[in-house]
Structure 1
Amino acid sequence: MTARVAAPADPRSRTDGLGWVTRAVFGDERIALSVGVAPPPGHRAVARYAVVPSLARARFLLPLGAPRATAAALLAYNALRPPKVRAVRAALGVLARVGVVDLAPFPRLTVSLPEGVGADEALLAGRLGAALGEAAVHAACGVRPPDPNHKPTLQLFAPDGRPLGYAKIGWNPATRALVTAEAAALRDLPAVTGAPEHPAAPRLLAESTEAGRVVALVEPLPPAVRGVPVDDPPRLAAQLAVSRRGRPPAPPRPLAGSSFARRLAAEAARAAAGTPDGHRAVAAVAALTDRHGGTAVEFGHWHGDWVPWNLGVHAGRLVAWDWEHSGPDVPVGFDLAHDAFQRALVLRGEPAAAAARAVDADLERHGAGLGLGPAARELVADAYLLEMWLRTWRLADAGAGWNAALHPALLDVVEKRHSG
């Protein structure tokens, strides 16, 4: 592989969101990127993007040269977006459909390759298009500030605007682990999504590992999918279907001696070896077992990020996406607990202690629908909150940094619950 060509105004040298995204998407050393100037000598342009609205405030990379694909990048799944974002995208989408975006004075990002190097060889979008069997694909990408926990996502469209897929890019240890986990979950789900009440899920179309990146190409959602309201009541039957994966209910087992408890203990021990607060997690796991070790609960899978913004409805059926935190062998009720916790933390802006109380309230209100008695509800709440702190530690340990809303506040909450 030849050395990267330093094209004039290459945005990969920037320290903002545009630099972060272009480094992840256009990582091949042979690719030259330039803004507002011709490709370097010996190169030919293979794609052009509008940087919207400006280099300094970039929010989108919109493909140029195919108005229907440009419009689709703005309009597809717009009903799932917040009202203000939806309005801006709708207005731009109408203009894009008639070719106005191609003529608008947005900065132009030119992607070029040396003569003899094919787009399906060097460009991620080209390789993904080849995996889909599409002769031509156009990729769009959102731009957001650099964040070690976020994954650039390419939206792939055919020239006529048909959505072809979404490619999540894991570029550091934290995001590579998340993309790998989602690919594994989606690979297994087709065997169970036909079970009664199980939500539909997008299929995994392709996956690859290359140059320090893990890429999962996921099927597009149905065009007519609509998001569930943020005040939608818990979908208990769907949560049970996810947990049981088409199988009959599993017999309850005590927390003590379970593989779940052993995993918590092992992760807490690793946290203790790597962070000053890890010893508190070790003590919290021991306290959890002392308090709830004899309580029997059903164990099963969970979605891992069951929240309204990861759920929709299509043709009367629930659809769930973003399975990157999915996993097996957790107490049934974790998805209900997570839904309550995140609604409080994210939607209402409440602190971790208040979000923990929301978990207790939702388990009290709805836990019986999951077969949870009073002792099991207490176990699920305490175990879930500890699981969430360990997730926070895992992401931090993988380079994503600490979530300030959850650390150390959530660990404080866990300790107070065990001492109460």
Structure 2
Amino acid sequence: MTDDLRSRSDGLGWVSRAIFGDDRIGLTVDGDPPAGHRVVARYTVVPSVGRARFLLPRGAARATAAALLAYNALRPPKVRALRAGLGGLARLGVLDAARFPALTVSLPADVEPAEALLAAHLADVLDVHPAYAACGVRPPDPNHKPTLQLFAADGTPGGYAKIGWNGATRELVAAEAAVLRTLPEVSGVGDHPVVPRLLAAFDWAGHPVAVVEPLPTAVRGVGEQDPPRLDAILAVARRGGPPTPSRPIGGSDFVARLTAEADRAARWDPAGARAVDAVAALARRYAGTEVEFGHWHGDWVPWNLGRHAGRLVAWDWEHSGPDVPVGFDLAHDSFQRALVLGRRSAAEAAQAADGQLTRHGDRLGLSADGRRLVVDAYLVEMWLRSCRLARAGAGWNEALHPALLDVVEDRLADVVEDRLTDRAEDRLAD
């Protein structure tokens, strides 16, 4: 079989285009490399080309086993069992001998691997020699990023390279790299969670790449029903520092940003006009409500949190940002648990967020009006995020669009109605 994997429309084609994008690279399945090429790497495609789930290095049993077993405790039970079985076979050296397709990666004799091959460049950047790369394969998804894992021959992980391949994921990879550059001084200090370090960030063949430090090998997941970690949420919001004075939302930079984003959305999609009205209604209803502003993780959910050596560990900071009402991470946590884990509607998920803010808002320094503001503002923020991703090529999240706008309008119904009336009167006056 010699067809180039990069021409495929499935997950294997998507991953191959991301990590073997240079057209000088030869990819051959179960065959010889092109004439004039030399072999630079070999991979096992598991379980088949048509149903690929893993690209695993050949000829390095411990590295292959590590690629399958790393952080297995964080995975769902069925996935964990599959990886454990394959990892055991890899450790015994059986996987290479099994009847899985073999992918040969080759280059012309006059091309150095680090010039054309991302894995070879990473090995130089991280100073891991010899290095073995692995990659999970999933169906193409405009929100997901291929992640190339690099291991030493003894199975020690060197780093994890996230690759931005379209407009949406390019922005996310670049954003996470920018955030991780700012966090080393507060990582693990006081109640602030431990944060994986950014090892490198660079462009490769037009794609931004962020290389992140491996998590501690003994990290364990946070239970889906665990209570919220309020001290850690506050530490993230305050960057490990003291509280800052509360300020009214009216005239804030936060509202100015939402207004500008809603205006951009309205120019791109008809639904954006509804977002413009929602932001205006939000600003009008809560103009005098004072809240503390700070940073947020942006995707504070159980599957992005873990525990190690008695400390909380947090990863995937690609949606993080400054100058939002303190409490956004708590609202996000409860909203996403209900929406994703509980498979509840956007309206029900908003009610779950209300419940958490009612229970814990005083711990975050929020008044009763402030708690309602945090949830309403968070819901607007989430729709605008969905719009940004859709505009960048990720497509609409069907769970949030248009349902989230409906929820926001219901919650701000009286103010939205007043705004629409004002606009109608202005048109008549004109």
TM-score relative to the length of structure 2:
0.95
Percent identity of equivalent pairs: 70
Residue from 400, 408, 411 that aligns with 2:394: 400
Q: SS at the partner of 1:330?
A: strand
CA distance in 1, matches of 2:410, 2:219: 42
Specify the code of the residue in structure 1 equivalent to 2:154. Answer: D
Name which of 42, 64, 78 aligns with 2:72: 78
Residue 155 of structure 1 and its aligned partner are, at CA, apart by 1.1
- The answer to whether structure 1 residue 57 and structure 2 residue 57 are counterparts is no
* Aligned-partner SS, 1:406: coil
Q: Extract unaligned runs of 5+ from structure 1.
A: 1-6
For 1:146 and 1:195, the matched residues in 2 are separated by 38
Match of 2:338 in 1: 344
CA distance in 1, matches of 2:190, 2:335: 27
Q: Secondary structure at the match of 2:183?
A: helix
Deviation (angstroms), 1:116: 2.2
One-letter code aligned to 1:193: S
Unaligned runs of 5+ in 2: 415-430
2:103 partner letter: L
What is the rounded CA distance, in whole Å, between the counterparts of 1:267 and 1:362 in structure 2? 27
Q: How many angstroms apart in 2 are the aligned matches of 1:362 and 1:182?
A: 27
Q: 1:8 Cα deviation (Å)?
A: 2.4
Does structure 1 retain, via aligned residues, the 8 Å contact 2:191–2:240?
no
2:132 aligned partner:
138
Shift of 1:194: 4.5
| Pair 1:265-2:254 in alignment | no
Q: Partner of 2:356 in structure 1?
A: 362
Give 3-state SS (helix, strand or coil) of 1:140's partner.
Answer: strand
Does residue 14 (structure 1) correspond to residue 23 (structure 2)? The answer is no
Q: Does 1:327 align with 2:321?
A: yes
Residue 65 of structure 1 aligns with an amino acid whose one-letter code is: G
Query: Counterpart of 1:124?
Result: 118
Which region of structure 1 is more displaced relative to structure 2, 125-134 or 321-330? 125-134
Q: Distance in 2 between matches of 1:296 and 1:126?
A: 52
Q: Deviations over 1:29-58 (max 9, x none)?
A: 211111111100000111111111111111
Shift of 1:119: 1.6
Task: State the distance in 1 between where 2:310 and 2:185 align.
Answer: 21
- Residue-by-residue CA offset, 1:341-367 (whole Å, 9 max, x unaligned): 110011011111111111101101111
Instruction: Report matched runs for 1:10-409 at 5 Å.
Output: 10-409=4-403
What is the distance in 1 between the residues matched to 2:59 and 2:87?
A: 14
Q: 1:372: how far off? A: 1.1
What secondary structure sits across from 2:9 in the alignment? coil
The whole-number CA distance in structure 2 between the counterparts of 1:126 and 1:407 is 41
Range with bigger deviation, 115-124 or 137-146: 115-124
User: What's the TM-score once normalised by structure 1's chain length?
Assistant: 0.97
The alignment covers a number of residue pairs equal to 414
Q: Distance in 1 between matches of 2:62 and 2:129?
A: 16
Measure how far apart 1:248 and its partner are: 1.3
Q: Are the aligned partners of 1:195 and 1:245 in contact in 2 as well (CA < 8 Å)?
A: no
Contact 2:188 2:311 in 1 (8 A): no
RMSD of aligned residue pairs (Cα, Å)? 0.9
Letter paired with 2:139: P
